[in-house]
Amino acid sequence: MGLDFNSYDDQRVLIQFSNIVDIEAVCDFEGNFDSSCGFANEAEYAHEKITGFIDLLNSKIDGHLEQNILLANTSDIFKYKDGLQTFLQQTNLTTHTFVVLTKDIPLEVLDQTFLGMSDYCFTAHIILNANHIITQSYCEGEYDTGWFSHDQQDCYINTWCRDHYPAPIESAQTMLNTVSEDSKYSDHSLEFETLKSNNLNSTVRKFRISAGFYGGELTIGIINQSFADYMANSEYSLEEIIRSFENGQKLPNVPLIRDEFCHWDECDDVIHIHAPYADSSFTVTEIDAAENDLLTQEKYAKCVKTYYLDGSNLDHIKNTPVLVCHTAEKGTIVSWYLELHDEDFDASLINYSQIQTNMGNFIDKVWYGSTELEENRNDTWTVSNSFNATIAYINLEAYQKSRNSGE
């Protein structure tokens, strides 16, 4: 027998959903819309995702969803369906969807309901009160990072939502609390007065730029040719051999990885980085003087340079054997800060370079126009998912020449 949602007490509960629309799913590697995906454009894809999500949620909770469903970007608010098409035409498709439940559904029931929405990936912010916002991410019926999946840790209450998925929560709360279900909305956008930037009367505006949610640590180091040859027919896995050397218990008949090898992350004489994957979109957040989040938008940037540390540009005479190690991680890896004087932020001016490796492409440097942005790791926090290692050959001379020349 299914749950009887009618048995729960009447109460309005506001929930914010983020990341329902994954535009990367209908874009090619360079971030351009892929016309072979089955949709006419990005807005049509987003329309189907949002509509399907809300209809499914409403059916799963037996219709206990208010008619007042709001869609928001960083400056405008739209009523669902009446303003959905207008919203999709005017925004960058980074959608925050606010719904109001009419029943006080227990958190564990909501959690199981969201897990059952296995056709979608999304983040739910359950707004219990002004100081209590529970955050959990889901993807295709499984947990991602969040409150339920991490033993209800305090770091997933309120702070997570505001720091990593900033959105106009207070404005939506106020808007939803001051309109009744039969209130009429105009088709045009309603501005969030409470989201007006505190920097508008200042000559300096500050922005924090971050890239994606996935990436990790990568090291590449030169190894002995004898070890590379041995690994072609080794009875041990590369990970087993690495751990044996790290533990001081070298396996029999295994040649030295290199003359001095203590730990994988010290085998890094070619490169050692901790960076997001280069297929990430960029999140740009305007911040005030105290670094509180104000306005947020998500943008794709242009890659202006690729440095090759994989099998590209191999020269059979100059090939160098290397050990490539990578810890796949999720979280906030690095941010870049930008100050603008008496001008608006122009997302088209974000460019980046990337490093192409056997473990994926990683962001190298980021520019705003011609200005290289300095990395900031004060906000760094990550969770490691896996460790991977491989033996590869690179054209080290070509890489170094490309780096030195800046070509």
Taking 70 as the threshold, does the pLDDT of residue 137 lie above it? yes
For the chain, report the end-to-end CA distance as a whole number of angstroms.
66
pLDDT in tens, 24-67: 777 776 667 787 878 777 777 877 888 889 899 999 999 998 87
31 Rama class: left (phi>0) / alpha (psi -120 to 50) / beta:
left
Q: Which two tokens stand for residue 249?
A: 């218990």
pTM score, whole prediction: 0.52
Sorted by where each begins, the domain ranges of the chain are: 5-194, 209-405
Task: Please report the pLDDT score of residue 177 as a whole number.
Answer: 55
* CA 220 – CA 320 distance, rounded (Å): 11
* CA 323 – CA 315 distance, rounded (Å): 18
Report the DSSP beta bridge partners of residue 296: 285
Whether residue 303 contacts residue 310, with contact meaning beta carbons closer than 8 Å, is answered with no
Q: Which residue has the higher pLDDT, 1 or 161?
A: 1
Task: Please report the pLDDT score of residue 189 as a whole number.
Answer: 30
Tell me the average pLDDT across 311-330.
85
Taking 60 as the threshold, does the pLDDT of residue 282 lie above it? yes
Taking 70 as the threshold, does the pLDDT of residue 161 lie above it? no
Parallel, antiparallel, or unpaired for β 302-309 and 350-357?
A: parallel
Task: Please report the pLDDT score of residue 225 as a whole number.
Answer: 94
Q: Which residue has the higher pLDDT, 179 or 260?
A: 260
Q: Which two tokens stand for residue 187?
A: 């088709």
Q: CA separation (Å) from 287 to 199, 204, 206, 338?
A: 8, 11, 6, 10
DSSP code string of 21-40: --GGGGB-TTS-B-GGGSSS
Q: Which two tokens stand for residue 286?
A: 């305007």
Q: How confident is the model at residue 170 (pLDDT cuts 50, 70, 90)?
A: low
Task: Please report the pLDDT score of residue 40 as a whole number.
Answer: 78
Tell me the average pLDDT across 163-187.
43
Supply the mean pLDDT for the chain: 78
* CA 89 – CA 76 distance, rounded (Å): 12
Taking 70 as the threshold, does the pLDDT of residue 331 lie above it? yes
Whether residue 380 contacts residue 332, with contact meaning beta carbons closer than 8 Å, is answered with yes
Q: How confident is the model at residue 153 (pLDDT cuts 50, 70, 90)?
A: low
Q: CA separation (Å) from 263 to 72, 194, 215, 247?
A: 48, 52, 21, 9
